[in-house]
Amino acid sequence: MDEVEKLIEKLRNGDDSERSQAVKQLGESNDPRAVEPLIAALKDAKWSNRINAASALGKMGDAKAVEPLIEMLGAEASVRIGVAHALGELKDARAVGPLIKVLEGADSDVRKYAAEALGKIGKPSVEPLVKLLENADGDVRDDAAWVLVDIGEPAVKNLVESAKDPEKRHIVRTISWILKKINEKARIREHDFGVKDRTVIPAPGIPREFQRLVLKDVPKMKIA
C-alpha cells in the first residue's frame, strides 16, 4: 500500500482529524486515484472537509468532479462558496446554468464567488449573463454587468446583437456602459523603465452606433 492508498483509507475510515489531513494531502498529491475519494468527501460529515475537498477537486482539474460539485451548490453558504470557486477553476460549461441560478438567488457573499466562476468560464456564460441584465433585482443586474466586463472581448458580439434587438431597447445604455468598460480595460499600457508608454493589447472597437449614446445617462454600477 503506497502513500496515496493510505491517505484514501484514512479518508474513508479515519476520525475527523485524520480525514482532514487526508483531504488536504490527497489534494496536494494531484494523483488521479484521489479524485473519486475526494468526490465522496464532498458529503463528509465535517463541513471544512467538504470545502477542502471541493478546493482540491478544482485544483486537480478532473472533469469527473463537475457534476458532483454542481450537486453541492445546494449546500450551506460556506460550502457553496468553495464549490463555486472550484467550478470556476474547472471552467466547464456545464456549470454555467447552475451558477446563473446561484447568481440570481443567493446571498451576496455566495453571489460574488458564483460571478467570479462565471467570469473564469468565459464565453459560455455570456448569453445567460446578458439575459440577467433584464433581471428585476438591481444587484443581480450589476453582478451580471461586471462579469461581462471581466469576460471582455468574447462578450462583445453577443452584447451588440442584443442591443440591436428592438425588444431590448431598455438595456441599450447598460450594454453601452459594459462595452465602454470592456474597451477601457483592454487598453492596457506598459511602462518600459519610464522611457516609453506603449499599448500592448489592442482595445476591441465599440461599434459606431454605441459611440453616439449619451453615457451620462447610463445607470450607475456598483464597483466590485
Domain that holds residue 162: 122-224
CB burial of 82-111 (b: ≥16 within 10 Å; e: otherwise) equals: bbbbbbbbbbbebbbebbbebbbebeeebb
Q: Which of 105, 121, 137 is the last residue of a domain?
A: 121
User: Count of domains in the chain?
Assistant: 2
Statement to judge: residues 114 and 136 lie in one domain: no
Break the chain down into helix, strand, coil percent, rounded to 5: 75, 5, 20
Cell of 53: 475537498
Q: How many CB atoms lie within 10 A of CB 116?
A: 18
Are 98 and 136 members of one domain?
no
CB 82 within 8 A of CB 51: yes
Residues 117 and 139 in one domain: no
Tell me what the pLDDT averaged over the chain comes to.
Answer: 85
pTM, rounded to two decimals: 0.82
The last residue of one of the domains, among 121, 143, 178, is: 121
One domain for residues 73 and 113: yes
Which CATH number characterizes residue 110's domain? 1.25.10.10
pLDDT tens digit sequence for 107-164: 778 999 999 999 999 999 999 999 999 999 999 999 999 999 999 989 988 998 898 8
End position of a domain, from candidates 121, 145, 176: 121
First to last CA, the chain: 49
Q: How many residues does the chain have?
A: 224
Q: Are residues 83 and 188 in the same domain?
A: no
